[in-house]
Structure 1
Amino acid sequence: MAIVLPGRGYTAKAPLLYYASKYYFQKGFDLLQIHYHDILPFANESEFIAAVQETVRNFLNRHPYANFCIVAKSIGTIALARLCKWDEFREAKALWLTPLLHRDDVFQGLKNSRQKGLVAIGNADPAYAGERFQELKANPNLDLLLIPGADHSLELEMDIEGSIDILKTLLAAVKKL
């Protein structure tokens, strides 16, 4: 089972999540893509997290799986940091796309992650925190991919070919996860 937790405005139809989802689907994974508009409205962050957790829990109660990969982008990494604490996801693989490193909960979730994971972020992303990113190197479970010049969409401004190359690099790293 691959669970996809998108960003607030970066849906599962956007390139990073679309191709990650397609890759896992082609590898035989069933997909659970969380669409936040389906669980709205949530008035605050705790309601958002609770809604995501309830959606995942309800799905797992009806459809038991043993093999998981969780793909999260931006705000989705807040929920991922919590889901990684669940026993069901102890052996899951985690793909952290543009994680909100400035947030203590996300940073601690990454720093203490037991899951094999890939962290991909650009140094032109407002969510990038250089010192914290460097600290993540101490976690042997994480592969780190820092993309020079990439923004919060893991794209290079005014460089389509370079942005496509980033997507190719990311997909190659996902295949190794």
Structure 2
Amino acid sequence: MKIKPKQDMYNGISYNFFDNNSDKICFMFSGTGYSYDKPILYYSRLLVLELGYDVIQINYTFAQQQFEQEPQAISNMVYSVVNPIVEDFLQTKPYSHVIYIGKSLGTMPIIDFYMQRPSLIPANYVLFTPLLSLEHTLTNLLDKHAFLAIGTADPHYSQEKIAQLTSHKLSVFENLDHSLEIPSNIALTIQYCQSLMKQLKAFLQIN
């Protein structure tokens, strides 16, 4: 989808708005070192645009010392940055559906806040490499429903914890790291990326 983003600011935070003239919207939250031009988020954006959604990518950065807080405080920090933009857009027009897509750090506000409260409109949640090693993350995921993708070489992966997430659509890939890649095997990485996008498309079309 060749839609040029409109770049704007809200509360001093920049964001990219891909205007698909839609009544559906997708909010994307990146990881600390995994930006929106990296493969998984890049192709996810193209996919949701193909499915007819407007897309908002929120561009946040934090100083290293801010990550020395407790995990819940870090989640609160990210949420306090992204939520004003989310609420502003949801009040702009009567959207009929919303998708939240997060990668690593960007999954924290989704899991800890958006999934914990009733949504005023139908919502889907997409979690790329969530931080399952954090105890509160697993607790907040239990009995919820999201598309969750992670690799077995990710330091946050736990077979024991994944086994508890029976209410989720799980996409677990052998040997993929926290970037959902196998650095020594680019051809296989691309195959897994294609498989992931197919699974994600099926999830979003059904749910």
The reply to whether TM is greater than 0.5 is: yes
Distance change in 2, residues 1:89/1:146 (3 Å): farther
- The corresponding residue for 1:50 is 80
Counterpart among 86, 89, 92 of residue 62 in structure 1? 92
Distance in 2 of aligned mates of 1:152 and 1:19: 17
What is the CA-CA distance between 1:35 and the residue it aligns to?
Answer: 1.1
RMSD between aligned residues = 1.9
* Alpha carbons 1:77, 1:106 under 8 Å: kept: no
Distance in 2 of aligned mates of 1:157 and 1:176: 27
Name which one, 1 or 2, has greater alpha-carbon Rg: 2
- The corresponding residue for 1:165 is 191
Letter in 2 for 1:2: C
Q: Are 2:201 and 1:175 aligned?
A: yes
- The corresponding residue for 1:150 is 176
- SS for the counterpart of 1:144 is strand
Letter in 2 for 1:19: Y
Distance change in 2, residues 1:147/1:34 (3 Å): same
* Alpha carbons 1:66, 1:88 under 8 Å: kept: no
Q: In structure 1, list runs of 5 or more residues that go unmatched.
A: none
- SS for the counterpart of 2:116 is coil
Relative to the length of structure 2, the TM-score reads 0.76
Distance in 2 of aligned mates of 1:36 and 1:22: 21
- The corresponding residue for 2:105 is 75
Deviations 1:17-42 (A, max 9, x none): 110111101111000111114xx579
- SS for the counterpart of 2:96 is coil
- SS for the counterpart of 2:97 is coil
- The corresponding residue for 2:125 is 94
Determine what percentage of the aligned residue pairs are the same residue.
28
Letter in 2 for 1:107: L
Distance in 2 of aligned mates of 1:124 and 1:89: 37
- The corresponding residue for 2:45 is 21
Runs of 4+ in structure 1 over 3 Å off: 40-44
Letter in 1 for 2:155: P
- SS for the counterpart of 1:171 is helix
Q: Are 2:137 and 1:106 aligned?
A: yes
Count matched residues.
170
Distance in 2 of aligned mates of 1:55 and 1:105: 25
Relative to the length of structure 1, the TM-score reads 0.87
Distance change in 2, residues 1:88/1:102 (3 Å): same
- SS for the counterpart of 1:87 is coil
* Alpha carbons 2:182, 2:189 under 8 Å: kept: yes
What is the CA-CA distance between 1:90 and the residue it aligns to?
Answer: 6.4
What is the CA-CA distance between 1:174 and the residue it aligns to?
Answer: 0.7
- SS for the counterpart of 1:49 is helix
